[in-house]
Chains A and B, each alone.
Chain A
Amino acid sequence: MSAALRPQRGQLPDLSRVTAVDETGVEERVARFRTRSIKTSSKVEALKLVLSMIDLTTLEGQDTPGKVRQLCQKAIHLHDSMPGLPTVAAVCVYPTMVAVAKRALGEHRIAVASVATAFPSGMAPLKVKLDDTKAAVDAGADEIDMVISRGAFLQGDYGYVFDEIAAIKEACGDAHLKVILETGELSTLDNVRRASVLAMHAGADFIKTSTGKIQPAATMPVTLVMLQAIRDFHTETGRMIGMKPAGGISNSKLAIHYLVMLRETLGTAWMTPEWFRFGASSLANDVLMQLQKQATGVYQSADYFSLD
């Protein structure tokens, strides 16, 4: 990395010098991850790790306190008839639901993550976004999932996006900041890489693929590019950044492929809920069904697992 890319902390790097991404190479690498076969006891360990990394999510306009409490109950009691299960890492809700989630989770060690900054579009004045963030933090959110201004990013106004993220980071206080790039709207892997570098320099604790409201959401190629950006950032600065693919990861097999990719890109240090999360709603039940299948040898039915 050139000197221009090694700014003081809190300074915008020269994004025109970010390494170009070889799309074909990324596709081929991802195809390799998909061929890894994780079976028996390794599979059980992987599934439990996936469970512990899930941000159980409900982000609908129709969310009610009742729905959020139900989600929190699910987070606490994933499947009580199966002993030895971890809990999920966090529940992820809208700012207005943070207090409800906080109360419902009580003393349990499950974090409350809140989306903020006019999620999912991010089309609001900075002041509104800051108020949105502060409201979520004041309500007790442990983690903030913000969206970047894709419009500004795409027209090259990197400074605006950088300053915005930095301002939100400041508003977060002690809360962890996850920065959603919404890669489905960034159109190229080069842009994904650029946005990742920008977000990390601006103060992101985590970078996250998607809101889940835009298709495509998380894909393995996009996630690989972001993981590589995290690796290079770590090499340059010594700072670890977390990764959260979100949206579209609904089955265990795919989730395990993500873990393989994580292991082979960033190594074991990142393989904890502290540094890697899955943003998902229906993934938890599929993982639970797979674990039950491993324990009993019998294929399972959603009829016997709690609703998500």
Chain B
Amino acid sequence: MATTNARVPVAKTYKLYIGGKFPRTESGRYYALRDATGQVLANVCRASRKDFREAVVAARKAQPGWAAASAYLRGQVLYRIAEMLEGRREQFVAEMALEGVAKKAAQAEVDAAIDRLIYYAGWADKYQQVFSSVNPVASSHFNFSVLEPTGVVAILAPEASGLLGLVSNVAPCIVGGNACVVLASESLPLNAVSFAEVLHASDVPGGVVNVLTGRRAELAVQFASHMDVNAVVWNDGDNDAEREIQQAAADNIKRVVGRAATDWQKDAAQNPYLIADTMEVKTTWHPVGS
């Protein structure tokens, strides 16, 4: 019996990225992402605080090795991410189209994201020279200050810019040797998950970047309160949301970085101060003379 079957397209499962693996959320919860017509695009993982905890454990484990890698190597790895992203431009543009982004704007965003990775790759072996200092002191000491990564950084990525906003926050964070857990835009999560696949294929050690999708309102306080997170970066929210994050972060005196109302398309949105945001200054007093 000869029948012709139209091919059934294979839909992609959008999963989390934790410790170099792509698990589903342990909670078994999902939210339906819909296009303008109400059609379901994907069931996206609604990460729980336990997923976040697992991600922090993975980040903590990966961070020392990543920080110990040479600046040159970290730059090469960031460059490699850009290369991989370049090769998958069309996929990212198509996903943005599904989410309702106009084609021209989508192309511009992917291009800007690639260029941003190159920008921070270039800074990998240069920011230290810019921010370090030799300090004049009154005693017979050679006194100097250098930057060290703060450790594990939790990032609440910008809501309005699914790819570029995420890349613009992750790249300056990891280039200095931090590991991070990033919560993708709730309304534009598809690119974030695909970007995790790019990371996975780019020599980024598992655990250095962990990508979660889910509800910001549910996870923001977890991001800010976790005692094993050294800094929290947030991008959206009003004064109340900021106060909540600041208060929850106070217990272990986390570094809190707010980047509200940034236009990530602009060149001004990339600068080495974003690297310094999640670094600690270590000052050394070295005795000299008699």
Contacts and interface: CB of A to CB of B under 8 A. Distances in A.
Interface of A: 298-304
B194 interface: no
A304 B53 CA distance: 17
Q: Which of the listed residues B56, B228, B251 has the most CB atoms from chain A within 10 Å of its own CB?
A: B228
A295 to B, nearest CB: 13
Contacts, number: 24
Nearest to A300: B227
Interface of B: 49, 53, 56, 222, 225-228, 251-252
Contacts of A301: 226-228, 252
B251 A299 contact: no
Contacts of B53: 299
A303 B49 CA distance: 20
Nearest to B50: A299
15 contacts: A298-B226, A298-B227, A298-B251, A299-B49, A299-B53, A299-B56, A299-B225, A299-B227, A299-B228, A301-B227, A301-B228, A301-B252, A303-B252, A304-B227, A304-B252
B228 to A, nearest CB: 4
Contacts of B252: 301, 303-304
A304 B227 CA distance: 9
A298 B229 CA distance: 11
A300 B56 CA distance: 11
A271 B227 CA distance: 33
A120 to B, nearest CB: 27
A128 to B, nearest CB: 41
B236 to A, nearest CB: 23
A299 B228 CA distance: 7
Nearest to A302: B228
A302 B49 CA distance: 18
Contacts of B251: 298
Contacts of A299: 49, 53, 56, 222, 225-228
A299 B60 CA distance: 13
B221 to A, nearest CB: 10
A262 B255 CA distance: 45
Contacts of B225: 298-299
Nearest to B52: A299
Given A301-B252, A304-B252, 10 more contacts: A298-B225, A298-B227, A298-B251, A299-B227, A299-B228, A300-B227, A300-B228, A301-B226, A301-B228, A302-B228
